[in-house]
Amino acid sequence: MEEETLEEAADRHIYGDKRKNFIRGAKWQMDRMYSEEDMREAFKGGSKMCWTDIKQETQEPYYYDFNEWYNQFKKK
């Protein structure tokens, strides 16, 4: 899928006065998103609480590695 700029998306979806508000709202939302580094720090903090899951095959505890965990939620 080809990426488009915020302005291109606004041009394609929004007409008239709403275009400026669309762009402002999208920028506001982007400023509140977490970076990969933010997520890495949160994972480190959470791992101190021993987050585990149970392997279905063995019923034993399974400890996530950050990259494996992060890739579950990363946009593709």
Q: What is the pLDDT of residues 51-61, one digit of tens each?
A: 556 777 777 76
Count structural domains, the chain.
Answer: 2
pLDDT band at 1 (very low <50, low <70, confident <90, very high): low
Q: Whole-angstrom Cα distance, residue 20 to residue 70?
A: 33
> Residues 26, 41: one domain?
no
The tokens for 69 are 């965990």
Question: Is the Cβ–Cβ distance between 26 and 32 less than 8 Å?
Answer: no
29 shares a domain with 3? yes
* 5/20 same-domain check: yes
Residues 50 and 68 in one domain: yes
Q: 9 is in which domain, residue-wise?
A: 1-33
Whether 47 and 19 share a structural domain: no
Q: Is 48 helix (H, G, I), strand (E, B) or coil?
A: coil
Same domain as 40, residue 25? no
Could you give the CA distance from residue 6 to residue 57 in angstroms, rounded to a whole number?
Answer: 45
Shared domain for 65 and 54, answered yes or no, is yes
Residues 6+ apart with CB under 8 A from 35: none
- 25 token code pair: 């709202």
Instruction: Give the pLDDT confidence score for residue 76 in this predicted structure.
Output: 60
